[in-house]
Chain A
């Protein structure tokens, strides 16, 4: 039984060396090729002095090499950090420095993007589209540099509680934070999925989510676990819904996992015909609320598919699940987040610190081997989220405070009711409004800034901002959006920015968000 993510690959490579493991942009790698290449990469990394506990960034658009990179880093005893190829350079450079990334697996174009903002203490790169070593600092090696190394496995001095990867998510204080995940965290999830969904070597899994989002952990590692094949969707396909539907059918995908927005997109604009999507035996969604009318429509078109709502923050990956009951669906107003995954426990805690009973609202906490060890380099944030489980009387352990408010139903399922703080979801992306405000405030002309989420029936929330500039300084909303683009990912940039001379305040002198949101919601609704 595997206790490391690298063993999933090794075991499947022994059983199915010639089967296709991964497909991306019309290229495939077999299990044998993936195993050998990642062994070579691990040896290359070690040769450069990269070793146990070191961090390597993976920074290029999805390709079969993405999986070689993940496996190669872990085989060298390191921790991989997937970096969003579409994020602004400044943000990537921040993460590289915050995480102490020593090696960067990247491409020439992406490396060039980082030129102005820098690569901190990165010692070397390995570049997927490079043919020869490029002179300079850091040392820049071509992907082919690994070819001269033996294809055999290294001995891994890694144990299950060592970190496998770090995923950076939006931070409320303005900068992203790195969620640390161990091999044990990942395998807790992967093993649950393997049992629940019975993934076999005959399955063909989609990979829609970017690799820095934890939905991709299922796509990639459940594929490797089963000896199946993962199809990484290129942007050209994901962005064009008719192409997306055709892609699923032409490649005979059997398992799909994505945020609901992608499925709504597919439903409304994918030109679905009666035979479309019938090959999918399991359809998983997570990350945001699935609008009921669209879910009902989609499920009615796919009578042979099992639908599951999966819930959980990056800090635990999936911790609860709900299998959609077709009969009950017609009379449901909203879908529950369900019950704890087997081998995970969740409970809701009320404001007074007692455990919530049926019908009572509380904050959801999770315990078990799914819980993250914390945030990289940030013991304060870690202590706030990953707490001692004081409801456990028999021994010391930790639990994670999700920040989500829930209510326990009589049938044992939890309903999601809201959040305490200003974290929102838009198209499934986790966004801290504070991070957007920090980006706006970093512009020299801005004195005050408030970012707001305006509810949207299709994607969860749309983002708007209201700002007040410094006296006598003029600035346009286009300029502000461009400024934001240098600091935060595009999906966080406010679609509309209202510029006012001052913002309304509450009695405590803070910007009155409630009033600002109320002002904006009727305006948005009357536009549609």
Chain B
């Protein structure tokens, strides 16, 4: 993994753990944990997450990209961000 990927992963993990999971009393044990199965992502949280990603990584995330494949875990989100970041 490149440094850029690591850094992105760290920032995403921090947001997911501190802003989404913690307030619901859920612990995230690994980057491949299912965020939906554990209830970390809900209909309110998904948009806070999208707003965070857009601001932090200077992206514009299309509605059609807000899917389970891209958001199912911290790993999936990181991959999406790295693949869509402005070069």
- The reply to whether chain A is a binding partner of chain B is yes
Chain A interface residues toward B at CB < 8 A: 86, 88, 235-243, 261-262, 265, 269-271, 427, 459, 478, 481-486, 490-491, 493, 495
Chain B: CB-nearest residue to A61: B37
Besides A239-B36, A262-B43, A271-B63, 13 other CB < 8 A contacts?
A236-B36, A242-B66, A265-B43, A270-B63, A427-B43, A478-B23, A482-B22, A483-B25, A484-B25, A485-B24, A490-B39, A493-B23, A495-B23
B25 touches A235 (CB 8 A): no
Q: How far is the CB of A120 from chain B (nearest CB, A)?
A: 23
| Given A478-B22, A481-B22, residue A236 in contact with residue B66 (CB < 8 A) | no
Interface check B47, CB cutoff 8 A:
yes
Inter-chain residue pair count (beta carbon < 8 A): 66
Interface check B42, CB cutoff 8 A:
yes
Which A residues are in CB contact (< 8 Å) with B23? 478, 481-482, 485, 493, 495
Which A residues are in CB contact (< 8 Å) with B72? 236
A240 touches B25 (CB 8 A): no
B39 touches A269 (CB 8 A): no
Interface size for chain B: under 10, 10 to 19, 20 to 34, or 35 or more residues?
A: 20 to 34
Interface check B51, CB cutoff 8 A:
no
A485 touches B25 (CB 8 A): yes
Which A residues are in CB contact (< 8 Å) with B66? 240-242, 269
CB interface residues, B 17-67, toward A, < 8 Å: 22-26, 36-37, 39, 41-44, 46-47, 62-67
* A486 to B65 Cα, complex, angstroms: 33
* A493 to B62 Cα, complex, angstroms: 29
B43 touches A243 (CB 8 A): no
B42 touches A490 (CB 8 A): yes
* A269 to B44 Cα, complex, angstroms: 12
B63 touches A88 (CB 8 A): no
- Point out the residue from B22, B37, B63, B64 that lies within 8 Å of A235, measured CB to CB: B37
- Point out the residue from B37, B39, B67 that lies within 8 Å of A240, measured CB to CB: B67
* 28 pairs from A and B in contact (CB 8 Å cutoff): A88-B25, A235-B36, A237-B68, A238-B43, A239-B41, A239-B42, A240-B46, A240-B66, A240-B67, A241-B66, A242-B63, A242-B65, A242-B66, A242-B67, A265-B43, A269-B66, A271-B62, A271-B64, A427-B43, A478-B22, A481-B22, A482-B22, A485-B25, A485-B26, A486-B25, A490-B39, A491-B42, A495-B44
